[in-house]
Amino acid sequence: MRLKEQKKFIAKDDNLLPLVNIIFLLLIFFMIAGVIQKQKELYDVQLASATIDEYVETEMHMLFIDDDGSLVLNNEAVSSSNLSSKLKKLGDKKNLIVAADGKLLAENLNKILLILSKNKINNVTLMMNKND
Amino acid sequence: MTKISLTPIIDVVFILLIFFMLATNFQDFSKTDIKLSHDKAKAAQSDKRVFIIEFNSKKEFKLNNQKLSLDEIKLKIKSREQNDKEFLVVAKPSDKVNMQLTLTVIEDLKKSKINNVMLGVTSDNPEDGYKLKRKKSTKLPMLEKL
């Protein structure tokens, strides 16, 4: 009697193995290289790049300066004319992080720094993108 | 032989991958603490040598009004550091210099271990400009003779 030829089991998933490998690699990359944290709102400010000191997120007042000189102080758009009054409202603790656009010209920066200086803010923290 | 189907694990891994791709953040910032050097405020910085580095958008540098390259400026300051423990360096960009160049110069100075760098703020009053002659009074900052 002729026996029925047994069919070889061919797993259909075998073709997926290279895909699984790549997905695993991507997964490991994102898990190791990335940090799970909220993306910082930069208000369209393209920060300059330099690597000086390590930036650590702290509870400080933040002043964003766009390349056209427009300002955002603590999530609120302010004009340069009323920046002084807004700074006075901050009280004594005037530790300020200045996040200025890389294209911002020194003449515009100088105007803002003059206002800060007149409000007795003589120490600022400049924020920038870290170089690779 | 029974083989485990890979489809469920692929589903889970895909979901994990999408989660990590969306949730991870590659933003990395740097910062520098800097003092603002107001023209008027210089009188208070008594008995300290002041090096004023002026530069323009063409990357032409001047140290206390003398044209030098940035490397030469760094060398001058570093050589002076042996004699004067207390000195100030004021980086003063001209009007058309952008923030990127300003920070690059500050970064360069700080990498050369010149840490007491200040950012020059020009007053709107022209009479408050930086005076480059050494004052007779010892209480005023001394500018380095090159």
What is the least distance, in Å, from the CA of B11 to any CA of chain A? 10
Choice between B134 and B112, residue whose per-residue pLDDT is larger: B112
Cross-chain Cβ contact B34/A126 below 8 Å: yes
Q: Per-residue pLDDT tens for B49-99?
A: 788 898 988 888 888 888 888 888 888 888 877 666 677 888 889 888 988
Overall number of domains in chain A: 1
pLDDT for the residue numbered B138: 45
Q: Per-residue pLDDT tens for A58-96?
A: 778 888 998 888 888 888 888 888 888 888 887 766 678
Confidence of residue A31 (pLDDT cuts 50, 70, 90): confident
Cross-chain Cβ contact B10/A19 below 8 Å: yes
- The answer to whether the beta carbons of residues B85 and B93 sit under 8 Å apart is no
Q: Per-residue pLDDT tens for B123-145?
A: 766 555 554 444 444 444 555 54
Question: Residue A110: inside a domain, yes or no?
Answer: yes
Lowest mean pLDDT among A29-33, A56-60, A105-109: A56-60
User: Residue B125 has what DSSP assignment?
Assistant: S
pLDDT for the residue numbered A59: 77
Q: Per-residue pLDDT tens for B21-31?
A: 888 888 788 88
Q: Which domain holds residue B117?
A: 33-125+133-143
Question: Residue A86: inside a domain, yes or no?
Answer: yes
Output the domain CATH number for residue A100.
3.30.420.270
Q: Which domain holds residue A113?
A: 61-126
**Looking at chain B from residue 31 to 70, which residues have their Cβ under 8 Å from any Cβ of chain A?**
31-36, 38, 41
Question: Residue A71: inside a domain, yes or no?
Answer: yes
State which residue of chain B sits closest to A30, comparing Cα positions: B20
Question: Residue B91: inside a domain, yes or no?
Answer: yes
B136-139 contacts at long range (C-beta below 8 A, 24 or more positions apart): B138/B46, B138/B47, B139/B43, B139/B46, B139/B47
Nearest to B17 among A11, A30, A125 (CB): A30
B-chain CB neighbours of A109 within 8 Å are 99, 102
- The answer to whether the beta carbons of residues B47 and B142 sit under 8 Å apart is yes
Give percent above pLDDT 70 in chain A.
86
Overall number of domains in chain B: 1
Question: Residue A51: inside a domain, yes or no?
Answer: no
Question: Residue A82: inside a domain, yes or no?
Answer: yes
Question: Residue B85: inside a domain, yes or no?
Answer: yes
Question: Residue B113: inside a domain, yes or no?
Answer: yes
On whether the pTM is more than 0.80, the answer is no
Question: Residue A48: inside a domain, yes or no?
Answer: no
Alpha carbons A82 and A71: distance in angstroms, whole number: 10
Question: Residue B15: inside a domain, yes or no?
Answer: no
ipTM above 0.85, yes or no: no
pLDDT for the residue numbered A3: 64
Alpha carbons A105 and A28: distance in angstroms, whole number: 42
pLDDT for the residue numbered B126: 54
Alpha carbons B25 and A119: distance in angstroms, whole number: 35
Question: Residue A105: inside a domain, yes or no?
Answer: yes
Does B85 lie at the interface with A, CB-CB under 8 angstroms? no
Does A25 lie at the interface with B, CB-CB under 8 angstroms? no
Alpha carbons B101 and B103: distance in angstroms, whole number: 5
Average pLDDT over residues A107-118: 87
Question: Residue B5: inside a domain, yes or no?
Answer: no
A-chain CB neighbours of B103 within 8 Å are 48-50, 52, 102, 126, 128
What is the least distance, in Å, from the CA of A65 to any CA of chain B? 11
Does A53 lie at the interface with B, CB-CB under 8 angstroms? yes
Question: Residue A91: inside a domain, yes or no?
Answer: yes
